[in-house]
A and B are shown apart, each in its own frame.
Chain A
């Protein structure tokens, strides 16, 4: 019994120290966002992004702090006038780390970002938004799939490396192939196909395709031969 007590003290201390890393980041983001000093906010973005990347691994555990962190990071992007990144970070918060306590402010910021970027989210998001609590009951891999399909419609250069990070996280954490739409997007991007062509050949059906065992030929089924050869040559 004594051994269990000693072990639990060590474990508790470990968790305590681990949870300390996020709280200073949240408090610091609150302070600098309130100051609205763009130089300091921009200086902190790199640190906040490192923190955000590590937080993906807490996808299966509900934590209000994680949710607040993503909201504050989104606010930082908004103050820096990087509206597409603010929108992407907000979508991460609302889909992957949904929290009731910050829902109203988060929704307000989301609408502001949508107005600034002149984007309209697809109907699937609006349907889910009406019953956002149901997102909590979908499994995590599906959440990432959904986030990816939504983010693709933002169609921005700045979110490209974020999405590639997300795919790397997906493959590493869930230890499975990414969905058909994600794989096709990755293939087009690694071959350096521009955004305009991507939007032409990436269809909404690709994101709804349940096929999990696919090869490059399956992914490139609707592409013209010239483009297909370019991508295949690049990937071989």
Chain B
């Protein structure tokens, strides 16, 4: 069965991310207080609340425009590095999706892959640096050739976030901690996993026709 990925699907996805970040904000902040500056939960909550509010004001007519608008709002409201990083992820993905009214899952996978590459380039980071990339790359790969294995992507993102625990941070404020960054899960990888959990939830809801 193919899920219709239209603008409304993407709007609901962003709402689901916002709700998940809202629920997990304390945990994100707690993780960030161990190796960062303890603002990740509040920053992400502020950014996603603003993004969802912008999407509710006027729902853009294409998936690409939804992601572009959400990304733009994240860049202008988050206030920390996660703003430009997630903003770039969504905007690049939105650009790849273009102005088609609905997109195939394979196309979404390509768009997300391109977005993750843009994040890596912006942050001059790679897998293994203990960043959001350690959740994002495995998640996009787990979407599979058909691009619609959303549950596999959810699991891969969560497992990817867990793999950051023994890593030593090589980017961001946590990198100043050196060895002391080892033993803590990366907050950015954790919030990245929430994006994919929300995607799976949104796709599941679309497939069963049940309201969230």
Partners in one complex: no
